[in-house]
Structure 1
Amino acid sequence: MSEQMQNIPIAKPWIGESEAAAAGRAIMSGWVTQGPEVAAFEQEFATYVGAKHACAVSNCTTALHLALLTVGVEPGDEVITVSHSYIATANSIRYCGAIPIFVDVEPHTYNINPTLIEAAISDRTRAILVVHQMGMPCDLKAILAVARRYNLPVIEDAACAIGSEILWDGQWEKIGKPHGDIACFSFHPRKVITTGDGGMLTTNNLEWDKQFRLWRQHGMSVPDTVRHGAKQVIVESYPMLGYNYRMTDIQAAVGREQLKRLPEIVERRRYLQERYHEQLSDVPGLKLPTEPNWAKSNWQSYCVRLPDGCDQLPVMQAMLDAGISTRRGIMCAHREEAYQIEAWSCGSDRLLESEGATDRAIILPLFHQMTEAEQDRAIAVLKTATQV
């Protein structure tokens, strides 16, 4: 089948022989669960983002759960966040027995609107959970200014943002340094780099990092690596209720290879974004994503808002009929049945930008191996489909 006839996926991980060899190395070592490969991946990841500590876990949802628990979120507390995110963001709050307080997003970045945060703070607010949506950094300086006035920790849902950067005190720094208190990453295949599944927490707080490590392994007092390397018998204890949130050494070995690819992946994605922007700028009414001058996205996704009078689903269907995959705008958790069982303190009338982004935006294909011919084909079909 020719390239012109092949379907174009929305995303595709860039993995190959080096990842296969790394997985094989871990398998042949005999140590396949959390062990030396995980420890090495954590160190390399921390070095890459500029954090003092990095702790690998099973996925980003578990990372968010541990982050919220560690900063003290308890049943009945409130956590300010966005509805306009994959449902895992809100779910992690509910895992703690806490209540997500949804605020609206900015229309051009799809990120939390910092000017709306203060009005959502109550005497039950325990934390602020922000999302770097589709890899675009939030306005962390504005968010932290509010959070620090109220002594609230800031957790960054950086699931999509590995490789993204923010201008901080005149220097470009990686998302995950962290600039808030804890940042959480995903290695799902839909993300920029993948371990099949997996997650990472970064922080500069040593005590919090120790807490992550206890909780991720059932609260066990002695790590496997210490016990197996000991010259004397060690019997572990379980002083707290913990979780099975470990990453395997097979995953971590793959992650180490993916981390080596990351600079090239981000460079390619930024190039493809520029081509999208150049060739779509002349489409009447089509709103393209905006990158603030203090942010450098990794362009995990390229999301456009359709012209007025142009219906989302017919456009997506026309592209699918032409063999081009798309996705609707990022979901809103408050619209889902699981979030309609209680009267949340925000109503949909206060989330108009979030709902508009879900209903009026589509995500276009973008992945490292995407050719210019494939991208040109996607652009041509979109232009035809959006003519109103």
Structure 2
Amino acid sequence: MPPPRDPGQDDHLAPGTVPAPRAVFHAEQALLGALLLEPHRRDTLTNVTADSFSTVEHTAVFAAITTLPAPVPDTHATDTTWINQVLATAREQARALTVPYLHSLIQVCPWPQHAPAYARMVEAEHARRRLRASAAYLLHSVHDISLPHPVHTVLAEADTLAAVVDDIATRFPPRAGLLPRTPLPPPGPTPDHGEAVQEEEQALLATAAARPADIGSTRWLLPGDFAQPLHAGLWQCLIALDRRGEPVDPVTVLWEAQQYGLLDDGSAPDKILRLLAQPTPSSEHWGERILRRSLLATASDAARRITAYADDPANTPSQLVVGARRALADLGAIQTRWQHATSAVPPQRPRPAPAPRAGPPTTTAAHATHTPR
């Protein structure tokens, strides 16, 4: 029978082109062939399950091998009864299976005694698929406009993703220096970027300039949370003036903006003054909305980074663990600020004890800031 469809194959090939199976497909065949030839070797496999395989056919064959009573070795060497039983059981889940395909599995297995090595390969690829799927759920939750409480759902999905990473780490402990070398994906679409975002940021800046006492209550908001670089720079100016205890009003903010080089791009002073001239009653309200959008954008970025790592076959499971943890660390940092802003600490899902990590992950999100000249 033709090899079952590998979900990792290219879906964009020309019509009529038969895609080549990925490396894990051959590892799965070798493992199944080893177990069909020497069924007693299944007792040496501890972390591989039927779900570890990438095709329905291979899943069904492995499930049959591990559930049927093992044959007597001497009898099995000269009798195909047990293999026929495996086929009959597996065909309940994969009717396309045939006797010739099971025999081909035996033929393509180089050395049955290498079954643990083949199993490790299968397990590694399964870890990659689990990570990719969990990242996809996180990304979907970020952009699901039907969610009544998107932040709560996104953080719950992030906890689930972190638990998957921790579980992979228990089987593939990360080692120092094993960072993914996959290029980071370009910025993707960010939720809620539009005219309303501009208005929210301007409302916060104007309110903070009119009521400097409110700045201290929104210290959890960072320049990197703003969508517009000019707005991020103005927020940094407001924070700097407040920390130095200097007067804060539209004119002093404008002067500080000049020191930070915010006028170098051609921004007119009167434009900034107009931007700061329409305060609203509450800074915290607009600050929370800006932080909410920043949290969702950070979650989207983390999911896309992890997906890029998982899509790169050159990354080992250990590298995937390191890369995923670093991506999630940025989300964890902004989650802490969100909890401080809203005084809400959502319940944490139980997670397994983490494996040793490869150096300290980043603990704060990167923020584009200017320094006074």
Larger helix proportion of the pair = 2
TM over 0.5: no
Bigger radius of gyration among the two:
2
TM-score (norm 1): 0.19
Larger strand proportion of the pair = 1
